[in-house]
A and B are shown apart, each in its own frame.
Chain A
Amino acid sequence: MKKLVIKDLHVEVEGQEILKGINLEVSEGEKVALLGPNGHGKSTLFNAIMGNPRYKITKGEIFLDGENVLEMDVPTRSKKGLFLCFQNPSEIPGVNSADFLKAAINEHSEKRVSLYQFYKILDQATKEVKIPFEMFNRSLNDGFSGGEKKRNEILQMLLLNPSIAMLDEIDSGLDVDAINIVSDCINKQFEEKHTGFLIISHYARLFELIKPTRSVVIVNGKVACEGGPEIYKRIDKEGYEWIKDEYGINIEKEEQPMNKVSIGVCATKEYVKNGTSK
């Protein structure tokens, strides 16, 4: 069983320290809800784990099954079983989706897949995420709606079958139907492949469908508290104020979300606004 271990991780972005000593573990067969006010470093954590060069690790360690992740280049991290569903997936005009997916699958398999096998695999996956197969003749994410981009991320997760998947606001910008599609895919991946999940979301709706086994709250670039599902439920009801009161953590100003993709159709209320100290 693979295990991702993060020890005392400090990360800088553009010279500013964002993560200030994160300790976190997640294993295959676990679903961890990752919460925290906007701008407190959740996406930074995922990017640092995946190896985005914009995010500079100044201190700490990351291990996957005992292997030092920080010594691996980005494609190796992917091939070792880490996967990141991006909060804002890139549109890459000119890069054909099918060519890209085929290259990615080939990198993840011992033998090159035949064109026939590839189309079979892709056809199956497009049905699961309910994106028309034809869209993969186009450029990568080019002209995809916000929701289609997110489902394309999930499709890639299904194709690459990671041991640890990090989902960054996979539900923002999705309507109720799409949230159901996405959570079905996540649940299936979990049940059949025992993938471990780290799931960032602001909405209890997704968590209710996925049923995380644990909750972790990041505040001011550190893990403020950890526990069972009761924590995400409480945050959904009360926001983050209680963390300040119970843990004596002064919550730094929350950033206004730069929601590039969200089109404001999320089905649940935006609890974050009320719950943070200003």
Chain B
Amino acid sequence: MEQVNSLENIISINKDGKYVFDLTKYNQSATFEVLKNIKVDLLLIGFNKNTSLSFNISDNSFCQVKFLIENEEKTINLQGNLNENSTFNLYFADYCKENTTVKSNINLLKNNSNTNVYFTSLAKGTNLKNYDISFNHEVGYTTSNFEGYGVAMDDSFIKINGVSHIKENAIKSEAHQKVKCLLFDEKSRAIANPILKIDCDDIIASHACAIGSLNNDHIFYLLSRGLSLEEARRLIIMGYLLPIKDYFDEEDKNKIVNYVEGDF
């Protein structure tokens, strides 16, 4: 790829486009420099057990990164630094059969930077899924959005920490967190701690968190239209696990559908 300059583990990108990076080539640790005024779409593959990633998004650039997390246990550490007018979007589709840890810290360093973090996690067996997602709004006119959907089955446990820190001078900033987890079996567990730290007036912030088992009224509604219990549960679970597929390309979309449909 000629647009890409790779100096050891620093990868700088200076042209619009869609890129696929195989992380095994970088020893699971890489810094991505997205240069000014470009629009990039990254798909990362080849995760091993531990991965450390860092992203610097320059002025007026747009960068989205999609993670399809599969197979063995994984830990992903991620840091993002956003400059003026930049957008940084992360999508985690976590269908990993083992434990997953995602730690992400995004710094909104300059005005008009914004970020969206969206994850879907399916936990089974005795899986522990750990999501630590934080945002620092260092300056004004910055926006962060965090949305997470989890389905915990069997004895699994989904743990979500979301911290949005709007600092002293970050006027007109916006921070939103929304987390929903469905506990499928009696022993399934989930905890969500959405935290908003706000050191500034004149901002907009919200958090919503819903954890619970299948809603009996919803089930009754669906059954009353003739759907079987299995079909009703399937439709509700699809609602948690499938929508993220729209952010992925065809091949991964199909994988996601297979992961979800295969189970229900």
Contacts and interface: CB of A to CB of B under 8 A. Distances in A.
Interface of A: 50-54, 73-75, 77-79, 83-84, 86, 89-90, 92-96, 99-100, 103-104, 107-108, 139, 156, 160
Interface string B208-236: 00000001111011111111110100011
Contact of A94 (B226, B229, B239): B239
Interface of B, secondary structure class, is helix
Given A94-B239, A103-B235, A160 B226 contact: yes
Contact of B223 (A54, A74, A156): A74
B238 interface: yes
Contacts of A79: 226
Nearest to B239: A94
- Which of B215, B217, B225, B239 neighbours the largest number of chain A CB atoms within 10 Å of its CB? B225
B231 A103 contact: yes
12 contacts: A51-B223, A53-B220, A75-B224, A75-B229, A78-B224, A90-B217, A95-B222, A95-B235, A96-B235, A96-B239, A99-B235, A107-B226
B243 interface: yes
Contact of A92 (B216, B221, B224, B226): B221
Contacts of A89: 221
Contact of B225 (A96, A99, A160): A160
A50 B235 contact: no
B135 interface: no
Contacts of B47: none
- Which of A83, A99, A103 neighbours the largest number of chain B CB atoms within 10 Å of its CB? A103
Contacts of B240: 94
Contact of B218 (A75, A83, A90, A96): A90
Nearest to A47: B220
Contacts of B215: 90, 92
B239 A78 contact: no
A75 B230 CA distance: 11
Contacts of B235: 95-96, 99-100, 103
Contacts, number: 76
A107 B227 contact: yes
A47 to B, nearest CB: 8
Contact of B227 (A51, A52, A94, A104): A104
B226 A78 contact: yes
Given A54-B220, A75-B226, A107-B227, 8 more contacts: A50-B224, A53-B216, A53-B220, A79-B226, A92-B236, A103-B235, A104-B225, A108-B226
B149 to A, nearest CB: 8
Q: Please name the 8 residue pairs, one residue from A and one from B, whose CB atoms are nearest each other, closest first.
A: A94-B239, A107-B226, A74-B223, A78-B226, A104-B225, A90-B221, A95-B239, A95-B235
Contacts of B224: 50-52, 74-75, 77-78, 83-84
B182 to A, nearest CB: 9
Contacts of B227: 75, 100, 103-104, 107
A89 B223 CA distance: 13
A46 B255 CA distance: 43
A50 B243 CA distance: 32
Contacts of A160: 225-226
Contacts of B243: 94
Nearest to A108: B226
Given A75-B227, A103-B231, A94 B221 contact: no
Contact of B238 (A51, A78, A83, A94): A94
B239 A74 contact: no
Nearest to A54: B216
A241 B238 CA distance: 51
A137 to B, nearest CB: 12
A57 to B, nearest CB: 15
B239 A92 contact: yes
Contacts of A103: 227, 231, 235
- Which of A74, A79, A89 neighbours the largest number of chain B CB atoms within 10 Å of its CB? A74
A73 B232 CA distance: 14
Nearest to B149: A94
A139 B238 CA distance: 12
Contacts of B218: 90, 92, 95
